Amino acid sequence: MAKSSETKAKQARNKKYMLIRYGRMNALGLFEHHESTVPKVNSRVVIKTGRGLELGYLVGRLTSYKGGQFRLNQEQIMEYFDENDSDFSHGQAGKFVRYATAADISEERHLRIIVEEEMECCRRFAKEMNLPMKIVDAEHVFGGERIIFYFMSDGRVDFRELVKRVAQEYQTRIEMRQIGSRDEAKLLGDVESCGQECCCRRFLKHLKPVNMRMAKMQKATLDPAKISGYCGRLKCCLRYEDKTYTELKKKLPKKNARVKTKSGKGRVVNTQILTQLVMIEYESGERKAVGVDELEIIPPSPAADKKQKTPPKNKNKSKDDSK
């Protein structure tokens, strides 16, 4: 038993993996392969996933491979992608089949043309059946095993009959996936106001919540037209610096806090998070900006604490109290 477990462990260590981006949603995953080397040029690959044969993009080709083996282990990859809000498939996502040929790329272009026709057909059927849904995009898996339609709707939709009709039309497996406005931006998004392609389309996969607190803390304009992205919601990039802003804000004293500097004692009037400057109003009435490292917070006196904690006396006494 011990020898067999050691053999399995050695086999697992000897496995080689490629990091590949694939699918319409640009998922990332590790794919087992048996190649001795990995090319250091832009490479398309044919892979086998749970959906069938697919075309993907080789990731990290310049610095991440040695002897055909991806340098980072699964834990390191998970840590990296968790920190960067990217989508990474847990465990092995599939197997490498071959490097893509010119014929494979040509077939991919042909499928893109076919997908447009398939989308129009699905939209026509949905309209005939009065289904409250908007067909946003479609994906024809490279191996031809299935067609995946992405749609938007305000509620749940019974699309079973629609799936049957489309499957009869194209003689293949049909999948329907409901998405939200941010997923729509991921599929169809173009260039944003920053001049770059939408983050959710380029690399961002975990679309975590973004709120107005982040915009206010970063002193961004609160004009919805300027802080909203392609999807109509707050821009995901507001999250990028939120952690830094939150940590820097903790170092600053609260407003009206009593402080002491070389110039004397005063109270905090305002603060600047990025520059770590504190605007102080001294007892003389003079105001001056001081670095947070150049001041000392004066703790409130026990009498002041007691005064704050003691509830105000009730002036309207009851009749029994007056007696």
Q: Which of 158, 179, 200 is the last residue of a domain?
A: 179
Q: Which of 214, 244, 274 is the last residue of a domain?
A: 244
- CA-nearest of 90, 91, 87, 70 to 203 is 87
170 plus 211 within the same structural domain: no
175 plus 187 within the same structural domain: no
| Residue 117 confidence (pLDDT) | 92
Residue 280 sits in a domain of what CATH number? 2.30.30.140
Residue 144 sits in a domain of what CATH number? 3.30.300
Per-residue pLDDT of the chain (323 residues; tens, 9 = 90+): 444 444 444 435 568 888 888 988 888 888 988 888 888 888 899 999 988 899 999 887 666 777 677 777 667 666 666 655 555 555 678 899 999 999 999 999 999 899 999 999 999 999 999 999 999 999 999 888 899 999 999 889 999 999 999 999 999 999 999 998 888 888 887 788 888 888 887 777 667 788 899 988 887 778 888 888 888 888 888 888 899 999 999 999 999 999 999 989 999 999 999 999 999 999 888 999 999 999 999 888 765 555 555 555 555 544 444 44
140 plus 171 within the same structural domain: yes
- CA-nearest of 217, 165, 223 to 193 is 223
The two beta strands, 287-291 and 264-272, are unpaired
**Is residue 319 included in any domain, yes or no?**
no
**Is residue 3 included in any domain, yes or no?**
no
43 plus 78 within the same structural domain: yes
**Is residue 6 included in any domain, yes or no?**
no
**Is residue 311 included in any domain, yes or no?**
no
For helices 160-170 and 102-128, angle between their N-to-C axes, nearest 10 degrees: 130
Q: Which DSSP state fits 197?
A: B
Cβ(207)–Cβ(182) under 8 Å? yes
18 plus 77 within the same structural domain: yes
Q: Identify the bridge partners of residue 279 per DSSP, sorted by sequence position.
A: 270, 289
79 plus 132 within the same structural domain: no
> Which residue type is seen at 295?
L
For 29, half-sphere exposure in the C-beta direction (CA atoms, 13 angstrom radius) is 24
153 plus 214 within the same structural domain: no
Show the domain range for 220: 183-244
170 plus 205 within the same structural domain: no
CA gap 134, 126 in Å, rounded: 9
> Which residue type is seen at 123?
R
> Which residue type is seen at 98?
R
**Is residue 227 included in any domain, yes or no?**
yes
| C-alpha angle 199-175-169 in degrees, rounded to nearest 5 | 125
- CA-nearest of 151, 149, 155 to 172 is 149
191 plus 170 within the same structural domain: no
Quickly list DSSP for 41-73.
Answer: S--EEEEEETTEEEEEEE-STTTSEETTEESS-
Contacts of 289 (CB under 8 A, 6+ apart): 272, 277, 278, 279, 280
**Is residue 226 included in any domain, yes or no?**
yes
Q: Which DSSP state fits 182?
A: H
> Which residue type is seen at 159?
F
Residue 265 Ramachandran class (φ > 0 left, ψ -120 to 50 alpha, else beta)? beta
**Is residue 193 included in any domain, yes or no?**
yes
**Is residue 321 included in any domain, yes or no?**
no
Query: Which residue spans within 168-262 are E strands per DSSP?
Result: 173-178, 258-261
Contacts of 209-217 with C-beta under 8 Å, sequence gap 24+, read: 210/234, 210/235, 210/236, 210/238, 210/239, 214/238, 214/239, 214/242, 214/245, 217/242, 217/245, 217/246, 217/249, 217/273
| Residue 185 confidence (pLDDT) | 83
96 plus 71 within the same structural domain: yes
- CA-nearest of 115, 16, 116, 107 to 55 is 107
CA gap 38, 20 in Å, rounded: 12
238 plus 263 within the same structural domain: no
| Residue 281 confidence (pLDDT) | 92
What does the radius of gyration of the chain's CA atoms come to, in whole angstroms? 30
CA gap 74, 223 in Å, rounded: 42
Number of domains the chain contains: 4
Which contiguous run of DSSP H or E holds residue 181? helix 181-188
Which contiguous run of DSSP H or E holds residue 137? strand 134-140
Q: Which of 38, 65, 100 is the last residue of a domain?
A: 100
137 plus 168 within the same structural domain: yes
Q: Which DSSP state fits 253?
A: P
